[in-house]
Amino acid sequence: MLETTRRSMSVHAAALSIHDLDQASARLRAQTPWQRHGQSAVTLIKEPDLRVVLLELRAGARVVEHHTAARVTIHLLRGRVRMHVGDRTLPLVAGQLVMLAADVAHDVGADDDSTVLVTLAWSPAARAGAGATGAGS
């Protein structure tokens, strides 16, 4: 039987990683960066070809335009955000998931306090060519 503690709620083994997103989200909102600047993030999973990042945004906070060499999914767990991709504005609500191809410029602004789960996945070709250095989303 797999056991986790309430303290960490994260179990790591060779082929297994379990995270309590509610607990991680609450910790992020209690941290100074979120309280002062309206955003805070933690990398939950960091592998050569995969990153999973939990991001907390306070209403009004904005992640400026950027892109990454990875394919990206943005899963809004809580709140409302507006995502800008090219000339499109995508209003997102909790439960929605967006996928972006590699090197697609985008930004995100929070309309409400929001929790975002960002997954970055590098293809073997992208990792070999450019390296898995772009971790933004």
pLDDT digits (tens, 9 = 90+) for 25-50: 999 999 999 889 999 999 999 999 99
pLDDT of the residue at 128: 64
Residue-range domain boundaries for the chain? 10-128
Residues in CB range of 97: below 8 A, 6 or more apart: 73, 74, 75, 76
pLDDT of 86 above 80: yes
Q: What backbone phi and psi angles, to 5 degrees, belong to 106?
A: -160, 160
pLDDT of residue 129: 61
pLDDT band at 131 (very low <50, low <70, confident <90, very high): very low
Q: What are the residue ranges of helices labelled H in the chain?
A: 21-30, 32-37, 124-129
Greatest mean pLDDT among 10-14, 15-19, 82-86 lies in: 82-86
Instruction: Collapse the DSSP code of 103 into the 3-class scheme (helix H, G, I; strand E, B; otherwise coil) and give the result.
Output: coil
Q: Measured on CA atoms in the order 115, 83, 101, 131, is the torsion positive or negative?
A: negative
Q: Which two tokens stand for residue 62?
A: 């904005």
Assign a CATH topology to domain 10-128.
Jelly Rolls (2.60.120)
Class of residue 57 by CB neighbours under 10 A (exposed 0-12, middle 13-18, buried 19+): buried
Average pLDDT, stretch 77-89? 96
Chain mean pLDDT for the chain: 86
